[in-house]
Chain A
Amino acid sequence: MLISIPNPCIGCRSCEVACKQINNLPPGVYRIKVEEVGPKYNANGKIIMKFRVVRCTQCEKPQCVNACPKGALRKREDGIVVLDKALCTGCKTCVDACPIHAIWFNPETGKIEKCDLCVDKGLDEPFCMKHCITRSLHSVNNRLSWIPW
């Protein structure tokens, strides 16, 4: 029996470090980031603690793609939004355009960083997904639907 938990993240933060390892990201630069909410009391007076995972959701109509003046971002047929590093100038227009703040600027490369579900890594699943401690609680486990919250 798999009980449905709407937000199974428990804050182990392996996804952050896994992502940094596979993408070789410097400090302060992410493609996925976990934020702690609480512990606090909810409206019913019950103490709660939640985790919010900030990561590109490969949205239906990506505003970053529209915003990029160089056409460096594009949505592939399978739905994944990818960056053409050769075209990126690091102007950060997309960083400001993303409504969920899931694009980061990498000062070491002068280009942006965003999640592309490890499509170019030759893995059968995103590296963060492989190392998610609550993975068994996610009802969907395919690459594109992999949303860790």
Chain B
Amino acid sequence: MVRVVRTVCGGCMCECGVLVYVDEENRVFRIEGDPKHPLNEGYMCPKGLSFMQLVYHPERLKYPLKRAGERGEGKWKRVSWDEALNEISNELLKIREKYGPESIAISYGTYPKRVAIGLSIFLASLGSPNQLIGNCHYCYTPHAIADLLTCGEIYTCELGVPDYRKSKCIVLWGYNPLHTYPPLAKKIIEAKGEGAKLIVVDPRYTELASIADLWLQVRPGTDCALALGILNVIINRKLYDSEFVDKWCYGFKELCERVQKYPPERVEEITWVPKEKIIEAAELYATLKPASLHSHLGVSMSFNSVQASRALSILVAITGNLDIRGGAEFPNYPIKLTYMNIKRRLRLSPEVERKTIGSDKYPLLAGPESFRCLPHPPSVFEAMLTGKPYPIKALICTSNLVISFEDGRKVVEAFKKLDLLIVMDFFMTPTAELADYVLPSATYLECDDICDAFCYMNFIAARQRVIEPLYECRDDNEVLFELLRRMQVELPFPASTYREFLDYRLSDLGLTFEEFKEIGYIASEFIEKKYEKGFLREDGEPGFRTPTGKVELYSTILEKYGYDPLPEYVEPPESPYSAPDVAEKYPLILITGARHISSYQTMGHNIPYLRELLPHPLIEIHPETAESLGIKDGDWVFIETPYSEQRVKMRAKLTYGIHPKVVSAQALWWYPEEKTFEDRAFKFNINVAIPLKSPYGYGPIVGTNIMRGRLCRVYKAEDET
């Protein structure tokens, strides 16, 4: 008999509801969108629709493997789980004994399986603070820190997403949800159909820009100036919410003074956005309420990421859009132990957190006074390479860092210095190839979990095991709990297995996971303006979770740490204006990191239905620029950057949707089918053209490495097919 199981997709981090059809032989034969799920409402993107091809992929990892030759040589010995787990726990205990717990690190990306929870518990239980979130120095973290500095909540990136159909104006700033958060794009399209105004700020003319009321083609890396220009118009024309500003904001006077440096005329010169459009955007955004504004990598991958994002946080605040329906909705989950709160509960003692790598340079990112206590990722690789400030000896890695991190060659070099590298994955990725132990992961169809959809508020959903794990695959979270048990380490929660932990998370609802599975999902009511009701602060008083209790337009925390308390534009250090000598040889501005709906981070290139949608990595070039370089549409080209000896090969896509002085290279490409490691991992991957450290170093506050707004040159790859 055919079974239909309601569960939650794990093709990316969106967590859409799905209905999975299973035949008599327990084989999944159909996956479709769940019309009852509040996020996707029946929609499903290509990744979710093709997920069966991942589950039943012939190259899926099937058994635990142990390295049998040199690191990366490709020689493996199949071992039992018992052997693997015993050996790994012994090794880890030895390393902890000899070098201290901080020499053990974990790494996860936005890995679509919630292994972050298991890993965080694992690492905190061992007593190490080095929880490496792969690329946090230029991903979500700059936005999160900017928002937390401003008002103690996160709302301009990933969190604070409203039901867009309640918004009258939607701003997408350096953020392309059609490719990265498709179910949200669906809601945006619906809102637009019902008459909402849409403003897209992007150097690329995206699909959503093509239906927008206003498209601001900003020069890469100048978003901070553009936001300050919009603030200038809003403030000088008194379009802000004066009642909210008077009652709840701190430092408005100083902000007014600061924005006077950014009249639209000057901002046009900096950003290349015509001043008429700057004024129009400011008027639209400030006069339509509720309005929502969300951003992502377009802003956080720039040098001055936190300050740029701060300007956006302030835009949302002074227009009175904080914590209202259709604006920036602060979360209100039905359970206390959400993904975020679990991580808050796992903070270690100040003495231990002080050892977090990078805490000396980036105290707001790492260390006891930081918001999240995350190590500075490039510094972790430096520590692996140099042993300074102390050596990192073991890494448990659930992401594909060789591809997803900048300067993949350095990553490989660093990994070769480790005593122990454990990789958990579905496939033998270039990162897994370097491991000592490779552990086969179960997919979302083979796991139980609680999903508190990260990008969409106020509900939790049950992910339930649809089929038994194939081969000898196991749920990563269960494996990590099992490892802790074998190491006889005490857990911070009353649970000895991950499944017990799920029951514990539901205990404040009086439910077991088994009962929750039957219910499917639970939503809680959105409460507007929680700051008025005393729901945000720990002391229960009205106001915000900041030192002044107000929305800090002028940040007292930044002031305390010696940073500029107000957002200020800084020219990107490697631009045609700041580095004209470099620009002579490298005349084009490079954006790396444009995503495509057919892949999620480094996943998808070996899935036939997805690869077919995008068989090769593309670099977008304006037709006039291409003509001057003798490049035709579809030609293979090489991309070179200063400070990197690696050239990267991609296919030219000629488009008028990009500025003639800008090129955009797609992110995170690798070729699973290529014969050599070099060709698989590096040849087509734009990340290897970004040096781990450039002469001008990293950006302030979180140590961002510039991924957008660098310089490059592009030339035709002759005789190459």
Query: Are B193 and A131 touching (Cβ within 8 A)?
Result: no
Whether B609 lies near A21 (C-beta < 8 A) is: yes
Binding site for B on A (CB under 8 A): 1-3, 5, 8, 10-14, 16-18, 20-22, 27-28, 38-41, 47-50, 127, 130-137
CB of B657 within 8 A of CB of A38, answer: yes
Q: Mark B556-569, 1 if CB is under 8 A from A, else 0.
A: 00000000000000
Quick one: which of A12, A21, A38 contacts B182, CB cutoff 8 A?
A: A12
> How many inter-chain contacts with C-beta < 8 Å in the A-B complex?
108
B612 touches A10 (CB 8 A): no
Q: Tell me if B32 counts as interface (CB < 8 A to partner A).
A: yes
Contact residues, B31-53 vs A (CB, 8 A): 31-33, 42-46, 49-50, 52
A13 B207 Cβ-Cβ under 8 A: no
14 additional A-B pairs beyond A11-B178, A133-B45, beta carbons within 8 Å, are A2-B194, A10-B189, A12-B207, A14-B43, A17-B610, A38-B656, A49-B207, A130-B32, A131-B33, A131-B44, A133-B182, A133-B189, A134-B189, A137-B189
Query: Please, how many angstroms separate the alpha-carbon atoms of A8 and B192 in the complex?
Result: 11
* Among candidates A3, A28, A40, A47, residue contacting B193 with C-beta atoms closer than 8 Å: A3
Q: A133-B189, A134-B189, A137-B189 are in contact. Are A16 and B46 (CB under 8 A)?
A: yes
Would you call A18 and B193 a contact (CB within 8 A)? no
- Residues of A with C-beta under 8 A to B46: 12-14, 16-17
Does B613 lie at the interface of the complex (its beta carbon under 8 Å from any beta carbon of A)? yes
Q: Are A133 and B185 in contact (CB under 8 A)?
A: yes
Give 7 pairs: A residue, B residue, CB < 8 Å, sorted on A.
Answer: A10-B178, A11-B178, A12-B178, A21-B609, A49-B210, A133-B45, A136-B193
| Residues of chain A with a CB closer than 8 A to B49's CB | 14, 17-18, 21, 131
- In the bound assembly, the distance between CA atoms of A22 and B182 in angstroms comes to 21
Q: Which one, A20, A27, A130, A136, contacts B190 given CB within 8 A?
A: A136
Chain B residues whose CB sits within 8 angstroms of the CB of A27 once the complex forms: 608, 611-612
A1 contacts B195, C-beta separation under 8 Å: yes
Residue B680 at the chain A interface, CB threshold 8 Å? no
Query: How long is the Cα–Cα vector from A1 to B50 in the complex, in angstroms?
Result: 34
Cβ of B211 < 8 Å from any Cβ of A? yes
Contact digits for B180-200, partner A, Cβ 8 Å, 1 yes 0 no = 001001100110011100000
A-side contacts of B195, CB under 8 Å: 1, 3
Describe A's contact surface by its main secondary structure: mixed
Q: How far is the CB of B213 from chain A (nearest CB, A)?
A: 12
Known: A20-B609, A21-B609, A27-B608. A49 touches B193 (CB 8 A): no
Chain A residues near B193 (CB, 8 Å)? 2-3, 5, 136-137
CB atoms of B207 and A11 under 8 A apart = yes
B504 lies within 8 A of chain A by Cβ: no
Question: Do A131 and B32 touch across chains, with their CB atoms under 8 A apart?
Answer: yes
> Which 6 pairs between the two chains have the least Cβ-Cβ distance?
A39-B657, A49-B210, A17-B46, A17-B49, A39-B205, A136-B190
Please indicate the chain A residues that have their CB under 8 angstroms from the CB of B527 in the complex: none
What residue of chain B has the Cβ atom nearest to residue A21's Cβ? B49
B186 near A133 with CB under 8 A, answer: yes
By a CB distance below 8 angstroms, the chain A residues around B194 are: 1-3
A20 neighbours in B (Cβ, 8 Å): 50, 609
Residues of the B chain whose Cβ atoms lie less than 8 Å from the Cβ of A132: 43
Contact A12 B597 (CB under 8 A): yes
Question: Known: A1-B195, A10-B211, A27-B612. Contact between A49 and B45, CB under 8 A?
Answer: no
Instruction: Given the known inter-chain contacts A12-B178, A49-B210, A136-B190, please indicate yes or no for A39 contacting B656, CB distance below 8 A.
Output: yes
- List the B side residues contacting A39 at CB < 8 Å: 205, 210, 655-657
Instruction: Note all chain A residues with C-beta closer than 8 A to B661.
Output: none
Contact A18 B205 (CB under 8 A): no
Question: A102 to nearest B CB, angstroms?
Answer: 18
- Whether the Cβ atoms of B657 and A131 lie closer than 8 Å is no
Chain B residues, Cβ within 8 Å of A130: 32-33, 42
Residue-by-residue, is B637-653 near A (CB-CB < 8 Å gives 1, otherwise 0)?
Answer: 00000000000000000
Taken together as a complex, chains A and B put the C-alpha atoms of A149 and B512 apart, in Å, by 47
Q: How far is B194's CA from A1's CA once the two chains are assembled, in angstroms?
A: 6
Does B388 reach chain A (CB closer than 8 Å)?
no
Residues in A with CB closer than 8 Å to B612 are: 27-28
Residue in A14, A21, A40, A50 whose CB lies within 8 Å of B52: A21
Q: Which residues of B contact A131 (CB under 8 A)?
A: 32-33, 42-44, 49
Q: Which residues of B contact A8 (CB under 8 A)?
A: 189
- The answer to the question of B4 belonging to the interface, with a C-beta cut-off of 8 Å to chain A, is no
Q: Which of A14, A22, A41, A48 interacts with B45 by CB under 8 Å? A: A14
Given A38-B657, A136-B189 in contact, is the A47-B42 Cβ separation under 8 Å? no
Q: Does B208 contact A (CB under 8 A)?
A: yes
Q: Which residue on chain A has the smallest CB distance to residue B186?
A: A133
Whether B30 is near chain A, meaning CB under 8 Å from some CB there, is yes
Q: A residues within 8 A CB of B655?
A: 38-39
Query: How far, in angstroms, from A72 to B142 measured CA to CA in the complex?
Result: 61
Q: Within the assembled complex, what's the spacing in Å between the Cα atoms of A18 and B609?
A: 10
- How far is B657's CA from A48's CA once the two chains are assembled, in angstroms? 9
Interface centre among A10, A28, A38, A50 (most CB of B within 10 A): A10
Residues of A within 8 A of B42 (CB): 130-131
**Are the CB atoms of B597 and A10 closer together than 8 Å?**
no
Q: How far is the CA of A133 from the CA of B189 in the complex (A)?
A: 8
Q: How far is the CA of A14 from the CA of B43 in the complex (A)?
A: 9
B47 to chain A, nearest CB (A): 9
Q: B657 touches which one: A17, A49, A134, A136 (CB < 8 A)?
A: A49
The interface residues of chain B lying within 8 Å CB-to-CB of A47 are: 205, 215, 656-657
Chain B residues within an 8 Å CB radius of A14 = 43-46, 49, 182
Minimum distance in angstroms from A88 CB to a CB of chain B? 24
Bound state CA distance, A48 and B209, in angstroms?
9
> Please, how many angstroms separate the alpha-carbon atoms of A20 and B31 in the complex?
12
Q: In the complex, what distance in Å separates the CA atom of A14 from the CA atom of B186? A: 12
A135–B608 Cα distance when bound, in Å, is 26
**Chain B residue at smallest Cβ distance from A132:** B43
Mask: chain B, 130-158; 1 = CB below 8 Å from A; 0 = not = 00000000000000000000000000000
Contacts of A16 in B (CB 8 A): 46, 613
Would A21 and B613 be within 8 Å (CB), given that A10-B208, A41-B656, A131-B44 are in contact? Answer: no
| Nearest A residue (CB) for B183 | A133
Contacts of A136 in B (CB 8 A): 189-190, 193
Q: Does B30 lie within 8 Å of A49, measured CB to CB?
A: no
Contacts of B598 in A (CB 8 A): 13
Inter-chain CA distance A146–B193, complex, in Å, is 18
**Cβ B43 vs Cβ A17 within 8 A:** no
A136 and B195 CA atoms in complex are apart in Å by: 13
Give chain A residues whose Cβ lies under 8 Å from the Cβ of B31: 21
Q: Are A21 and B205 within 8 A (Cβ)?
A: no
| Contact A48–B597 (Cβ < 8 Å) | no
Q: How far is the CB of B202 from chain A (nearest CB, A)?
A: 12
Cα separation A141 to B44 with both chains bound (whole Å): 18
Closest chain B residue to A26, Cβ basis: B608
